């Protein structure tokens, strides 16, 4: 069994990503850790949000890199993030703001088998989140 993706997107999210890409070009996502917009997937033009050593690239959705801070990752490490779209106002700084919809993170807990596959794929340590490819 291969390691499951840490992040994936619903068809609705992929359609919104494509719409935003057509308007703004290359995009990136960062799972917000709270503050003004709560904990939400935030969409930016690629490079508008600078990532650092404490950010982890979890994968891609719709061809866009998806990042999360290390502290936030500690809470989410045992779950697969499923990025969806619901009606409502988008995050103040996120590109979908004004579209009448917003990105939303759903999640599910990895099975024991999936967790073992992820541990093997990420360098063998359940406590080493900084092993992701950048």
Q: Using alpha carbons, select from 134, 66, 133, 49 the residue that is nearest to residue 103.
A: 66
Residue 132 lies in a domain: no
Does 104 have pLDDT greater than 70?
Answer: yes
pLDDT at 52: 87
**In percent, how much of the chain has pLDDT > 70?**
84
Q: Name the least confident of 38-42, 62-66, 73-77, 110-114.
A: 38-42
CATH number at residue 56: 2.60.300
**pLDDT tier at 133 (50, 70, 90 boundaries)?**
very low
Residue 127 lies in a domain: no
Residue 65 lies in a domain: yes
* pTM reported for the whole predicted model: 0.85
- How many CB atoms neighbour CB 22 within 10 A? 8
Q: Which domain holds residue 49?
A: 7-122
Give the count of domains, the chain: 1
- How many CB atoms neighbour CB 101 within 10 A? 19
CA distance 91 to 97: 6
Q: Using alpha carbons, select from 50, 41, 59 the residue that is nearest to residue 95.
A: 41
**In percent, how much of the chain has pLDDT > 90?**
60
Task: Encode pLDDT of 6-35 as tens digits.
Answer: 999 999 999 999 999 999 999 999 996 765
Residue 1 lies in a domain: no
Q: Which residues pair with 60 in a beta bridge?
A: 65
Residue 133 lies in a domain: no
Rounded to an integer, the average pLDDT of 39-66 is 92
């Amino acid at each position: 069994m291969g390691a499951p993706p840490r992040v994936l997107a619903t068809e609705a999210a992929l359609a919104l990503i494509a719409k935003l890409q057509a308007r703004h070009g290359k995009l990136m996502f960062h799972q917000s850790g709270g503050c003004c917009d709560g904990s939400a997937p935030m969409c930016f033009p690629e490079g508008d949000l600078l990532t650092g050593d404490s950010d982890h690239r979890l994968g891609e959705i719709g061809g866009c890199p998806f990042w999360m801070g290390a502290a936030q990752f500690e809470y989410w490490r045992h779950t697969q993030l499923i990025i969806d779209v619901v009606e409502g106002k988008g995050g103040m700084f996120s590109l979908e703001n004004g579209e009448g919809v917003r990105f939303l993170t759903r999640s599910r807990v990895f099975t024991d088998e999936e967790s073992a596959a992820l541990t093997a794929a990420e360098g063998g340590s359940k406590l080493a989140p900084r092993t992701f490819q950048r």
